[in-house]
Amino acid sequence: MAKPPDPFHEFVIELFAPMGPVSVKRMFGGAGVFRDGLMFALIADDTLFLKTDAALRAELEAEGSAPFIWVRPSDGTEVDMGYVSLPSDALDEPDAASDWGRKAFAVALAANAKKPKKKK
């Protein structure tokens, strides 16, 4: 039986509505947020994190945002995954959230462009 929609996932979709259509897919105990098939954000423990590069990370951290740190179960090693939380004030402002989301999507596009093409 399919799980019912998660209210926070639905909230994130509405929050990013000014960006255009986005989708949320459950994965690894959390969820990925996608636009045009490209993941630009993730949800973990009802916290929204945006994909970052060095410049966007600095902007977000200046707003008081914190990085998403994954703890490897096998040895407890902390791994910075390159995502930083959305500033809390943007959770109440779809236009502000979408501005941050567009920046994260641009980072995701740039990172995707750098990946080498798979050989067949």
**H-helix or E-strand spanning residue 14:** helix 7-15
pLDDT tens-digit profile of 45-85?
A: 999 999 999 999 999 999 999 999 988 889 988 989 999 99
The per-residue pLDDT for range 74-83, each reduced to its tens digit, is 998 898 999 9
**Domains of the chain as residue ranges with CATH:** 7-113 (3.30.1460.30)
Tell me the per-residue pLDDT of 15-42, one tens digit each, with 9 for 90 and over.
Answer: 999 999 999 999 888 999 999 999 999 9
> Is 25 exposed, middle or buried, given 0-12, 13-18 or 19+ CB atoms closer than 10 A?
exposed
pTM, two decimal places: 0.88
Directed axis angle between helix 54-62 and helix 94-114, to 10°? 160
Rounded distance between C-alpha atoms, residue 88 and residue 71, angstroms: 23
